[in-house]
């Protein structure tokens, strides 16, 4: 926070001493902080829907929360690719789920990266269709939000790949 130098006009012993007092946040700083909080709230609400297993609602709500040029990217894993629009994201997501009898995404940590990006570190688990094999992984997703609208989601099956792409460390 910026500071302003003020001259103390208190008792004679302190007159003429320069003191620092924090300046009030500028309107721009308040707007950025509000946008960051709103972005974090938006991403948390999406994960809450997914954690409840309400994927259909998630995509229905996403159509209202997504920018017209929305992009869904799967950065790694067996179905890596880029998909345009909410419909493309939904088809991709349900395509991923076809291989599983059960699946679960649980957010472990939210990190506000800047005024347009939120990183979610998550835990994913599922049981393979047919094989019955239990699988667990620590993944991540980067949500890009501009003017209250989702512009891009980048999904990583391997958390380390996400952290490396972002130049971050776990924890």
Tens digit of each residue's pLDDT (9 = 90 or more) over 62-79: 778 889 899 999 999 888
pTM of the model: 0.75
Reported as a single tens digit per residue, the pLDDT across 118-133 is 999 999 999 999 899 9
Give the whole-angstrom CA distance, residue 134 versus residue 121.
Answer: 20
Q: Residue 136 and residue 79: Cα distance in Å, rounded?
A: 17
Name which of 132, 127, 118 is nearest 140 in CA terms.
Answer: 118
* Domains parsed from the chain with CATH numbers: 42-166 (3.10.450.50)
Distance separating alpha carbons of residues 162 and 154, to the nearest angstrom = 9
Contact 8/15 with Cβ under 8 angstroms? yes
């Amino acid at each position: 926070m910026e500071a302003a130098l003020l001259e103390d006009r208190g008792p004679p012993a302190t007159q003429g001493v320069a003191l620092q007092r924090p300046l009030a946040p500028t309107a721009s700083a308040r707007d950025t902080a509000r946008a960051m909080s709103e972005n974090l709230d938006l991403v948390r609400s999406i994960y809450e829907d997914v954690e409840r297993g309400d994927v259909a609602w998630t995509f229905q709500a996403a159509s209202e929360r997504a920018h017209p040029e929305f992009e869904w990217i799967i950065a790694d894993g067996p179905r890596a690719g880029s998909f345009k629009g909410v419909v493309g994201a939904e088809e991709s997501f349900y395509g991923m789920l076809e291989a599983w009898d059960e699946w679960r995404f649980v957010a472990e940590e939210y990190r506000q990266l800047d005024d347009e990006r939120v990183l979610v570190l998550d835990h994913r688990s599922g049981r393979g269709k047919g094989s019955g094999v239990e699988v667990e992984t620590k993944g991540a997703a980067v949500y890009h939000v501009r003017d209250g609208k989702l512009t891009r989601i980048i999904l990583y099956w391997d958390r380390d790949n996400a952290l490396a792409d972002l130049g971050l460390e776990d924890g």
